[in-house]
Amino acid sequence: MKINKKRFVYLISPTKINRFFYTDLIAVLKQKKVSFFQLRLKKESFRKKIKIGKKIKKICKKFNVKFLINDDVYLAKKLNSDGCHLGQEDMSISDARKLIGNKIIGITCHNSIRLAKVATKNKADYIAFGAFYSTKTKKVKYKASLNTIKKAKKITKIPIVAIGGINLKNYKNLLLNKANFLAISSYIWKNKKLNPQNAIKKLI
């Protein structure tokens, strides 16, 4: 998986997608800072996710952004997305590979080097650690630290995605400590001071 240092943002969708979202997404992706976009909708029906996913996939393709699906390998297959992101309770990497073949498969490793070793052995394309900071997107069960990244770098060459409460005040520290990508959601979509386009512009 190629790493483009300028495109360090791993953008996660808002939890609800309204009709204004697509215009905002185009404005955000135009900034050329996003490598991945993950569709993460917990409460929508499969049919609704397909409808939304098809629109987003077209936009991602236009801006050369990899389109990933959260948790649902069947949805990833149906949409022929670029890959999927798996949690520890989701389908195994090997089963996901059987369904979607040689696509991008990333996995959540919380704050665990043991899980990172397992993910490396199972040929994950990236590993995600977090939460690094408190976040409104989901309840934080696991806290990761900069030390987690340092330890992981010693045992694997797989790209590392940092997740959890990442914003303008703390993102540079993660990049300086060699996180390859920063998973960001609330800072872009729920920012009280900046619209999505201006929020991403500030990440240099």
The pLDDT tens digits of the residues spanning 180-204 come to: 999 999 999 999 999 999 999 999 8
Per-residue model confidence (pLDDT) at position 137: 63
Buried b (16+ CB within 10 A) or exposed e, 166-183: bbeeebeebbebebbbbb
- Mean pLDDT for 76-89 is 97
Q: Where are the domains of the chain?
A: 9-201
The string of pLDDT tens digits covering residues 104-134 is 999 999 999 999 999 999 999 999 999 999 8
**Superfamily, domain 9-201:** Aldolase class I (3.20.20.70)
* pLDDT range class, residue 100, cuts 50, 70, 90: very high
CB 94 within 8 A of CB 118: no
93: phi then psi, degrees, rounded to nearest 5: -60, -45
Distance CA 126, CA 58 (A): 24
Q: Is 95 exposed, middle or buried (0-12, 13-18, 19+ CB in 10 A)?
A: exposed
Find the length of the chain.
204
